[in-house]
Chain A
Amino acid sequence: MKRWFFLLVAALGLALSQQPAPLKIGVVVSATGPAASLGIPEKNTFLLLEEEANKRGVAGHRVQFIILDDASDTTQAVRSTRKLIQEDGVLAIIGTTTTPASLGMIDVVAEAKVPMISLAASKAIIAPVDAKRTWVFKTPQTEELMARAIVADMKERGVKSVAYIGFNDAYGEGWWTFFSQEAKEGGINVVASERYARTDTSVTGQILKIIAARPDAVLVGASGTPAVLPQRTLNERGYKGLIYQTHGVANPDFLRVGGKDVEGTLLPAGPILVAEQLPAGFPSKRPSLDYITRYETKFGIGSYSTFGAHAYDAWLILRPALERALKNASPDNLAAFRAALRDELEATKNVVASHGVFSFSKEDHLGLRFQDTAVMVQVQNGRWKLVRTFR
């Protein structure tokens, strides 16, 4: 009797030990601090994905997302990345939400030779693909792509002169760089360029200067609810031209706080923002609707945002790359596996995701095609309305 018992325990132990160790993925997001409105849906997405990934498993492995908050702070993001690589031995890093912090993380992952997928916007994170950036990929559209969409739309509407007002930080400056360049190439005259801070309570001075320059259109280079302020001031001062925003405002809170003031706003956005209105043949339609249903089932109707979808896209790319890498390498040999995973990420072709279709190459670590990843949206009756696709 006793012997049977021991055999049983031994068999059980053996079975347990043969269950492969979970695949550890490090995640850094800005769940607190100024970028929290972007970071929180990203974090929620990973909670959702972990649950689902473990139901099916990745090539028979369980997946563990180790999620750390960087408080929208570069130093904290870099420290968290080091910790994930050195102490937790993660296979890859996803994150982080903001551009400055993502730039800071590049050195760390390149030194440790760990592949990373950033969730931040700036093109500087993945271009040019040099010795360091060969380890870095990203999912959100660059300002360059979105600025191209805005300029294309402006030309279509016959805009001749435009004024710019943006955040006095990396976001506003990044947009200014690419927008002024695209506008120049498109033959649109930029007549004013102003800055304000996220926390400002008044932009009267800047708006007066813009109105004095009489532009046909104004672009607000800001994200989240602080983007409402310049637009409201423009309305209060009787500005009648077109107002453009960036895709950084594409969340329900912008509409809630903006109310009547943001009616008629034009903005470029990832297709997921208007998933239901996309034409049937649009590649991102299905994955977008899929993500929205899953997210809303867990977190409530109307809770999804386009920022969480960047995290979803990162997993849509990482998952097949992991499966392919697992065929040729074993996660037990960490260094070799990370390198194999990087190669497989770079070999990603035609992954249809919620913000576009990803095809990476040696020179291109963004992998998005303009016509699949940007659409023009207008605020009509307090809702997002698709007005133009570029396909």
Chain B
Amino acid sequence: MDWTIFSFLLADGLQNGTIYALLALCLVLVFAVTRVILVPLGELLMFAPLSYALLLQGQFPGTAWLSAAMLVAWALLDRNRLRLALALLLLAGVVLGLAYWGSHGAPGWVAWLLAVLIVLPMGPATYRLFFEPLPHGTVLVYLILAVGLHFVYQGLGLVFFGPEQYRPPALLSGEASLGTVPLPRQVFVVYAFAFLAMLGLYLFFTRSLYGKALRACAVNRLGARISGINPSEAGRVAFLLATAIAAVSGMLIAPLVNAAYFMGFLLGLKGFVAGILGGLISYPMAVGGALVVGLLESYSSFTASAYKEAIVFALLLPVLFWRSLRTLELGGEEE
């Protein structure tokens, strides 16, 4: 391995690591606030670019129907709160209207935004419809529910978009070189977004009232409730944030890696591995973990490509072992 190859692999590893970092952030965020391991995060990531690809082809994406249907179901659940229910129904109409506009000759960048907007309501709606009715579920119950949702969303993805990949156009086309390594310009957009997302989350959690409320929920749900914070609302905000970050990440990486209905799970899983390295509580450690996963993957794909996946997931074993030793000392967090 000479310097050129080393630097190519480094660039590749950092690029993948950044994507995993964004997903790991979302997973940690959702887990800390709601105790849900959001397995279907990868699907929410995949819905946006695939909807975009369909909008550009002038087709009405099935995700708009799904999003609208989830909002209507939400409105039915909350029918006693008339104003909220009406607002949700209106929003469902708006989503369908936007999708119609997007598929009938909206310019490319509008379609880009519309695709994100169509997917966005699914996040909070997922929480309201499936997790909120079980306020006292254990982590395991939530996990099983999340895995189930993953299969449902992935199946729906196949129905909506078919089995093959799409490659939506990049925001910035062409290549720029960094030293000896030529990189697609789009990669820099990914880095910029990752930086902004992390900075935004940091400011949100330290400066805004909402952010502080979310942190309070993460630290102690009961305590937060006693101080007048609604944990359900905190959960919905967490899901909304996670969906927004995932959807935009998906839009940004799709031109680099091709989008398909099956792309989400493995990305999410590697984000999860990274999150585990941070114990699913620490944001900086999750980001660090994600970069480790990305680099490890990149270098192992060069040296032993047949075992790449195995090497990445084998990373979990020592980490889990080490963490389980530490958790024992703490006497177990659960119950």
Is B82 in the interface zone, CB < 8 Å from A? no
On chain A, which size bracket covers the interface?
Answer: 35 or more
Q: Within B211-268, which residues are at the interface with A (CB < 8 Å)?
A: 253, 256-258, 260, 262-263, 265-267
User: Whole-angstrom distance from the CB of B190 to the nearest CB of chain A?
Assistant: 12
B302:A206 contact, CB within 8 angstroms = yes
Is B160 in the interface zone, CB < 8 Å from A? no
B302:A257 contact, CB within 8 angstroms = no
A208:B163 contact, CB within 8 angstroms = no
Q: Within A206-261, which residues are at the interface with B (CB < 8 Å)?
A: 206, 208-209, 212, 224-226, 228-229, 236-237, 251, 253, 256-257, 259
Give the residues in chain A near B308, CB-CB below 8 Å. Answer: 195-197, 205
User: Whole-angstrom distance from the CB of B299 to the nearest CB of chain A?
Assistant: 7
Per-residue interface assignment for chain B, residues 281 to 305, with 1 indicating a CB less than 8 Å from any chain A CB and 0 otherwise: 0000000000000000111111101
Is B209 in the interface zone, CB < 8 Å from A? no
Contacting chain B: which of A30-38, A275-283, A335-343?
A30-38
A224:B164 contact, CB within 8 angstroms = yes
A201:B301 contact, CB within 8 angstroms = no
Chain B minimum-CB-distance residue to A256: B164
Per-residue interface assignment for chain A, residues 20 to 44, with 1 indicating a CB less than 8 Å from any chain B CB and 0 otherwise: 0000000000001010110010000
Give the residues in chain A near B158, CB-CB below 8 Å. Answer: 32, 36
Q: Name A257's contact: one of B258, B266, B306 (CB within 8 Å).
A: B258
Chain B minimum-CB-distance residue to A253: B164
User: Whole-angstrom distance from the CB of A300 to the nearest CB of chain B?
Assistant: 14
Q: Name B165's contact: one of A204, A212, A228 (CB within 8 Å).
A: A228
Give the residues in chain B near A237, CB-CB below 8 Å. Answer: 8
Is A168 in the interface zone, CB < 8 Å from B? yes
Q: Tell me whether chain B's interface is mostly helix, strand or loop, or mixed.
A: helix
A206 to B12, CA, bound (A): 12
A253:B165 contact, CB within 8 angstroms = yes
* A202-B15, A206-B305, A208-B302 known; A257 vs B257 contact (CB < 8 Å): no
Give the residues in chain A near B164, CB-CB below 8 Å. Answer: 37, 224-225, 251, 253, 256-257
User: Whole-angstrom distance from the CB of A184 to the nearest CB of chain B?
Assistant: 20
A229 to B9, CA, bound (A): 16
A253 to B259, CA, bound (A): 13
Is A110 in the interface zone, CB < 8 Å from B? no
User: Whole-angstrom distance from the CB of B159 to the nearest CB of chain A?
Assistant: 9
Is A194 in the interface zone, CB < 8 Å from B? yes
Give the residues in chain A near B262, CB-CB below 8 Å. Answer: 34, 198-199
A36 to B164, CA, bound (A): 9
A203 to B155, CA, bound (A): 26
Chain A minimum-CB-distance residue to B262: A199
Per-residue interface assignment for chain B, residues 13 to 24, with 1 indicating a CB less than 8 Å from any chain A CB and 0 otherwise: 001100100000
User: Whole-angstrom distance from the CB of A135 to the nearest CB of chain B?
Assistant: 30
A236 to B8, CA, bound (A): 12
Chain A minimum-CB-distance residue to B165: A225
Chain A minimum-CB-distance residue to B303: A205
Is B166 in the interface zone, CB < 8 Å from A? yes
A212 to B303, CA, bound (A): 13
A228:B258 contact, CB within 8 angstroms = yes
A212:B5 contact, CB within 8 angstroms = yes
Give the residues in chain A near B182, CB-CB below 8 Å. Answer: 236
User: Whole-angstrom distance from the CB of B178 to the nearest CB of chain A?
Assistant: 14
A229 to B303, CA, bound (A): 19
User: Whole-angstrom distance from the CB of B244 to the nearest CB of chain A?
Assistant: 21
A199:B263 contact, CB within 8 angstroms = yes
Chain B minimum-CB-distance residue to A72: B163
Give the residues in chain B near A201, CB-CB below 8 Å. Answer: 16, 19, 253, 256-258, 263, 267
Knowing that A203-B301, A224-B164, A257-B166 touch, tell me 20 more A-B residue pairs with CB under 8 angstroms.
Answer: A32-B155, A34-B163, A34-B262, A36-B158, A165-B305, A168-B306, A195-B305, A197-B309, A201-B256, A202-B15, A202-B297, A204-B9, A205-B299, A205-B301, A205-B302, A206-B305, A208-B9, A224-B163, A225-B164, A228-B165
5 smallest beta-carbon distances between A and B, as pairs: A205-B301, A205-B302, A36-B163, A253-B164, A201-B257
A interface residues with partner B (beta carbon < 8 Å): 32, 34, 36-37, 40, 165, 168, 194-206, 208-209, 212, 224-226, 228-229, 236-237, 251, 253, 256-257, 259
CB pairs A–B below 8 angstroms (19 shown): A36-B163, A37-B164, A40-B162, A195-B308, A196-B308, A201-B256, A202-B12, A204-B301, A205-B302, A206-B302, A208-B9, A208-B302, A212-B5, A224-B165, A226-B165, A236-B182, A251-B164, A253-B164, A259-B167
